[in-house]
Structure 1
């Protein structure tokens, strides 16, 4: 395939879209989830150390999050008030002396694996990786290849939390898990293997819907800090402090799909049009124990009105003042405008932002086209950004459109990326969210089982 040829890239995106839509139109949510819930045997040049923390008892993190959601819920949309739960984690580190098919030592305890993992790190940096999967798929096991790459490239250790999945656990369950995962780094609860880690040694990373959760986490921390709130987590008092940086790939930050790029970039991306005509709402879609929910919803992740909530769709957030440096790498995706809008607003408020948009490349192209020059470039730039953030570097803001031919960057003015204001965006999101309707066959209780 010629990765410099735009027509080739568009044809490839169309093939991916056709295959993707065929699967999602014909496969139940339960069957889609099942393959992604695996826990693969650990092999190769990585250490994996697992631990589980109990449900917090002496804790205010949940109530503080719910208070923020209520405060920003201008339209009083009902939502599921998720409870805290026990959290399962995986540490990932690079294992220098292993070969591609080397199994992990069976005789080692999880704490000993962590000790060896930490012993091989070359940096005090910790990456909190928040993985994607439309909020409905995946576990840390699915992302070991990605996180072990980051561990090797940066010398860091990487932490992932098992996010609760939708539709079983709607917003804000996964966001609460991610919030508490960050707190777990700062103040390790019982059964943790690590010592407390300073926010200045932590960088958030992620992809796709995981980026949405990562930016949501930043908004939680920023808003709590402005309010002068402290957090009690497992009996330890924590001051809300942002990490050293955030670096994400193919960010999804507008769940209402309200920005112009959701239409204008349809030829170079993989999602259906219009976005609100979702496969799992169609009459022929196979039902299962997970879907439709009871009572029924019109969206896997949340009630439709909550798609416009700034903690669910961070592109609608009005204040990024005090945020850590931001780096985003994206294809020419349908979701690029909301990412650019975050960059535009954050830059105007004094935040360092860097965006690289790769011409003709679809959503999560770095997974689909692993051998493409664009993939090699974006992964290298991603790891470099993470490393620089951990060293306290705050780059001068820049936005580049990377041409497919020669990977030549064309620089754009950060101040004029998306000609919209925050109130306009918030209104757009709300209007678009109201197009998501519960189909009649859900209300009638018809089943395709």
Structure 2
């Protein structure tokens, strides 16, 4: 189908003459511009309370729902190509998850490339998950009911974390994840120009994330390359992709590999949508549907 009019309006707004794409900016400027996109999430939803914390030396922000605990726990990992983004920029998404799923959200501020290339981000999300498993009970969370999720690069890190800590999570929510940094998939060519995420931007992100010469086929980088036993031990998954997204095919391929390994998978492709839509509920109605699906899946997983 054609690009959703609301998504096209976002593209028209972001592609003004004289405004360079993020991958043509110095990294500090790109981070500032990317942070500005958080305005497309709308007004932050109210939650019971929030708190900044440090989890095994990694900054996190905690969000509590209304009511008495212990609450189920969602570890949320933001996107941004391992170069951009922050817990602050994903605040609205974390609040929506907290409110709609009734869970304690741990929003992770992992280290970014190029200052901290792979494996820094992977090490950080593993450190946070281990902290949650031992410390969250004292903060009103239930470590026996945990889930992990993220969008884009955060979806990649979520899939990696689920592989690295088998048995820890009741559900993984992967929102247009990058699962294969080694091979070009058809959707990269089909959707590589003129959209929010481009082929050139993907190359820019990958070059900085893997600047230490890491093998893109390492499953901690490209979770699609995990062996069959690792896949089979993964938790149930909810996987979202977007029709007009260079990452569409590798998200779909990962969902299929999980299915082949016997993992329960709900796969939803949002036709007409673009990369990034999930974080834009104020301007793209499909994002609200995706959040409702995510919250419903979390509640079922924790029931």
TM-score range (shorter-chain normalised) is 0.7 to 0.9
Match of 1:252 in 2: 178
Please name the residue that 2:148 is paired with. Answer: 204
Counterpart-to-counterpart distance in 2, 1:273 and 1:257: 12
Is 1:324 matched with 2:235?
yes
Matched, 1:272 2:234: no
- Decide whether the 8 Å contact of 1:128 with 1:203 is kept in 2: yes
Cα 1:21/1:308, change in 2 over 3 Å: farther
Q: Pick closer, same or farther for the CA change 1:7–1:169 going to 2, 3 Å.
A: closer
Distance 1:313 1:16 in 2: 32
Counterpart for residue 91 of structure 1: 62
Deviation at 1:197, TM superposition (A): 3.9
2:161 maps to 1:217:
yes
Whichever structure has more strand as a proportion of its residues is 2
Q: What is the alpha-carbon distance in structure 2 between the residues aligned to residue 141 and residue 10 of structure 1?
A: 23
Q: Is the 8 A contact 1:123 1:156 kept in 2?
A: no
Aligned length: 290
Counterpart CA distance in 2 for 1:386 and 1:164 is: 27
Give the C-alpha shift of residue 339 in structure 1. 1.3
Please point out which of 91, 111, 119 is paired with 1:172: 119
- Any gaps of 5 or more consecutive residues in structure 2? 37-43
* Corresponding residue number in structure 2 for 1:300: 208
Aligned to 2:218: 309
TM-score (norm. length: structure 2): 0.83
Structure 1 residue aligned with 2:12: 15
Quick one: distance in 2 between partners of 1:27 and 1:94?
Answer: 38
Counterpart-to-counterpart distance in 1, 2:90 and 2:35: 12
Cα RMSD for the two superposed structures: 3.1
Instruction: Name the counterpart of 2:40.
Output: none
The alignment status of 1:261 with 2:187, answered yes or no, reads yes
Q: Are residues 18 and 380 of structure 1, via their aligned partners in 2, closer, same or farther at CA, if it must alter by over 3 Å?
A: same
Q: Which has the larger radius of gyration?
A: 1
Judged with a 3 Å threshold, the aligned counterparts in structure 2 of structure 1 residues 256 and 21 are, in CA distance, closer, same or farther, namely farther
Call closer, same or farther: CA 1:316–1:144 in 2, change over 3 Å.
same
CA–CA separation in structure 2 for the residues paired with 1:214 and 1:7: 28
Aligned residue in 1 for 2:108: 161
The residue aligned with 2:25 is 27
Contact 1:123/1:154 (8 A) holds in 2? no
Q: Distance in 1 between matches of 2:248 and 2:187?
A: 6
In 1, the alpha carbon distance for the partners of 2:68 and 2:89 equals 22
C-alpha distance in 1 between matches for 2:177 and 2:30:
22
Q: Is the 8 A contact 2:193 2:199 kept in 1?
A: no
Match of 1:367 in 2: 279
Q: Distance in 2 between matches of 1:203 and 1:53?
A: 17
- Offset of residue 371 of structure 1: 4.0
How far apart, in 2, do the equivalents of 1:246 and 1:7 lie? 27
How far has the Cα of 1:264 moved from its partner? Answer: 2.4
Q: 1:145, 1:353 → 2: CA distance?
A: 26
The normalised TM-score by structure 1 is: 0.58
The verdict on how the C-alpha distance between 1:193 and 1:355 changes in structure 2, with shifts beyond 3 A counting, is: same
